[in-house]
Structure 1
Amino acid sequence: MKETLLCLNFGHLLPYTMSDSNSTDFTNPSTFILLGIPGLEAAHVWISIPFCTMYIIAILGNFTILFIVKREPSLHVPMYYFLCMLAITDLVMSTTILPKMLSIFWFNSREINFIACLTQLYFSLSFPAMQSGILVAMAFDRYVAICDPLRHSTTLTNAVVAKIGLALVLRGTILILPYPFLARSWPYCRTNIIPHTYCEHIAVVKLACADIRVSSYYGLSVAFLVISLDVFFIAVSYTQILRAIFSLPTKDARLKTFGTCGSHLCVILSSYIPALFSFLTHRFGHNVALHLHVLMANVYLLLPPMLNPIIYGARTQQIRDKLLQPFTHKGT
């Protein structure tokens, strides 16, 4: 998902070219150099302000979701368990790239260890894959709750939810595992300079002195496998949900039932729309400046973690009530 899953794998089409004057004869470098946002180095401090703000909101919002769900027994149901899984993936996604990015922007700390770079590459790919799977699980939860409500508690038991969560973690972990191993197997030469704020997959392997088509083809296959299947299952779930909603007798009942899906639909849009823009920019925007590609790659990993807790906090009455509880008690 994202450049992370889909767009990155078209990244071999991007103009990540470096001057031949930077060429050297080293292989398997101990460190890489992250440029930040090429062409906008003078504005790094100013660019850091919105990114840092997004990260702070993401951290506070997602930890608040986790705290509220943990403290409130009435929220110990599948919907909120999946929401907690989403919050954890959001925290890891944003933390994977933001601290290093800020160290580049604020302290000009551009070096990153080779193994640390591959680790960052791995996390920036695997957790968006897990996030996409969690959105499918949340769609399934809404499908059972609306289309077969009497069996919801017996279908989605705590054990089943735990197994779904484990399966999503294993899927994201195993499918993405070849990425860093393939990247580590290539010999590197010419330069160790990465024109990016983090170790983006294709930006790294393009530095290799080898035919990287295996990495590109594998990445493309995984991207289509994960994204196409996830979008398909979400679409099937909501097709059944809409059929059940339109069969309800009154307009108020239809609106109330559909309202229970509102937060999830907004989260789906906040996750997949940036991915779509990244894909279109990378696939068709060959004349788009490199710094715009880099900015899109960062926005994709930072925007959903910031928006998701806001969406659920604003649209979910149980969470909203718990957030406002301290203030309402003071006023009484």
Structure 2
Amino acid sequence: MFHAIFDTVKGCQMMGQAKIGIIGGSGVYDIDGLENAAWVTVETPWGAPSDALLTGRLDGIEMVFLPRHGRGHVHSPSTVPYRANIDALKRLGVTDVIAVSACGSFREDMAPGDFVMVDQFIDRTFAREKSFFGTGCVAHVSVAHPVCERLRQACLAAGRAQGVTCHDGGTYLAMEGPQFSTVAESKMYRDSWGADVIGMTNMPEAKLAREAELCYASVAMITDFDSWHPDHGAVQISDIIATLGANSANARGLVARLPAMLRARDVCAHGCDHALEHAIMTAPDKRDPAVLAKLDAVAGRVL
């Protein structure tokens, strides 16, 4: 199985063309305008992904769409099968992953309806499997710079071309959920920790993408100010739903502009696609064959 997957990924790089994966968050459940669109089921050693994956071509570029919560929003942030999702994208030959997700804002100048092109994360999740590696094959990858700058800049340009107010950089605090923050927590994240937006789904997703040697970028779509804001209590759920709907339409417009910007694909200048080069610590004769079998798509390049 691994050899077929690796040949697919290697083939994409040799041809110099990207294969773009979109992970859709709340309100984003498909891609407009896909040619030869088909939902495909992908089996992974980490269980079933959130849903079938939608494949097709957009503006001549192969695309794969995965609804993070499943169609009908069946997975909570804590139960999203993050490892299976990233593994499935890798198995389908995806090279570049763009995650879109709803979030709250800690900044007056980052208002509902704005998009933030995240460049840093604070991970406060605790109930999720965060690595493909462990006993039997230990590895440590760097996530000092967890977002691929090439992809981030493409998303920034696509968002601005769509007419969205886009912020160039921001720190996304990932909380466990599913409840929202208390006022005390919200003020701490904003004032003491310096976070800009808050959500529940980009971790461990970004870490797993790095372990799978996938370029990853996050588009955080603001729906509301978090509970720190003095007017937060006056926000009506109908206002949030309306903003979510507008954000979803703009996200689809942003995605539609990406193929033209990401058509060429070469070795990642930021190192995302060779993050495992020196990461595996377990000696070859100590590696568990059963664990290695599960890593065929994620780490086959180095194993």
With normalisation by structure 1, the TM-score equals: 0.26
Greater relative CO (CA pairs within 8 A, separation 6+): 1
**Larger helix fraction of residues:** 1
TM-score scaled by length of structure 2: 0.28
- Structure index of larger Rg: 1
Bigger share in strand? 2
